[in-house]
Amino acid sequence: MALYPPKWVKYPKLLTLAATFVAAYLIVSASAMQPLREFLANTGYIGTFVAGMMYVYGFTAGPATAILLVLAKSQNIFIAAAIAGFGAFLGDFVIYKIIRQSFSDELDTFAKEWAVIKIISLIPQRLMSLVLPALGAIIVASPLPDEIGVTLLAASTSINDRSFFLISYTLNTLGILAVLYIGSGA
């Protein structure tokens, strides 16, 4: 039996997303969450890797960031960033492969829509090969959900698996390092 939100909930997905950010705030700040923070601190680098995997998905990014903030107090932030960055890359790679393999037919059809053709015609051809990867990389590096950026990278024919690894790992590791630096209080 499927669960449906009550009729008064107009935006259940946005409400769920907001709830994840409230949970993240509580993980970091509520005194009642001290046992959870201690548990997380004891997960070590395995917890850091899992938090890195969670960091890239919209609904788990908030709690993952909170977990990384907690873990920053008990770990070397450079080692933690490298480990969490690899977890984030694996999370992104799942999205990348699904988009590349399962959505390629729809992406090809979408590229033939008149609005897409019109937008593409406004961008010089030489610049076009850089626009999708650059926009995707900016989104991956930002706090925005990686799903959008990875989709743009996967849609670009100039990005191969090796390039994707370098882009995803580097940008996620730098973003996570910034979070860990803040969490360490340095």
- The pLDDT tens digits for 138-161 are 888 876 778 888 888 887 777 888
Instruction: Give a yes or no: residue 93 inside a domain.
Output: yes
Q: CB-based burial of residue 13 (10 Å sphere; 0-12 exposed, 13-18 middle, 19+ buried)?
A: exposed
Provide the residue range defining the domain that includes 165: 12-184
Average pLDDT over residues 36-58: 87
Reading the block at residue 80, the tokens are: 């933690």
Instruction: Give a yes or no: residue 4 inside a domain.
Output: no
Give the pLDDT confidence score for residue 109 in this predicted structure: 79
Average pLDDT over residues 59-65: 86
| Lookup result for tokens 């829509």 | 113
Residue 183 in this model has a pLDDT that exceeds 60: yes
- 111 vs 119: CA distance, rounded Å: 10
Q: How many CB atoms lie within 10 A of CB 18?
A: 12
Reading the block at residue 180, the tokens are: 């860990």
Instruction: Give a yes or no: residue 1 inside a domain.
Output: no
Instruction: Give a yes or no: residue 5 inside a domain.
Output: no
Instruction: Give a yes or no: residue 47 inside a domain.
Output: yes
176 pLDDT band, cuts 50/70/90, is very high
Reading the block at residue 139, the tokens are: 């989104």
Query: pLDDT tens for residues 85-125?
Result: 999 999 999 988 888 777 767 767 777 888 878 887 887 87
- For residues 172, 13, 108 and 170, what is the CA-based torsion angle, rounded to 10 degrees? 0
Domain total of the chain: 1
Residue 1 in this model has a pLDDT that exceeds 70: no
Instruction: Give a yes or no: residue 36 inside a domain.
Output: yes
Instruction: Give a yes or no: residue 150 inside a domain.
Output: yes
Query: pLDDT tens for residues 10-43?
Result: 777 777 777 877 887 887 777 877 787 788 778 8
Instruction: Give a yes or no: residue 178 inside a domain.
Output: yes
Residue 181 in this model has a pLDDT that exceeds 90: yes
Give the pLDDT confidence score for residue 105 in this predicted structure: 72
pTM: 0.76
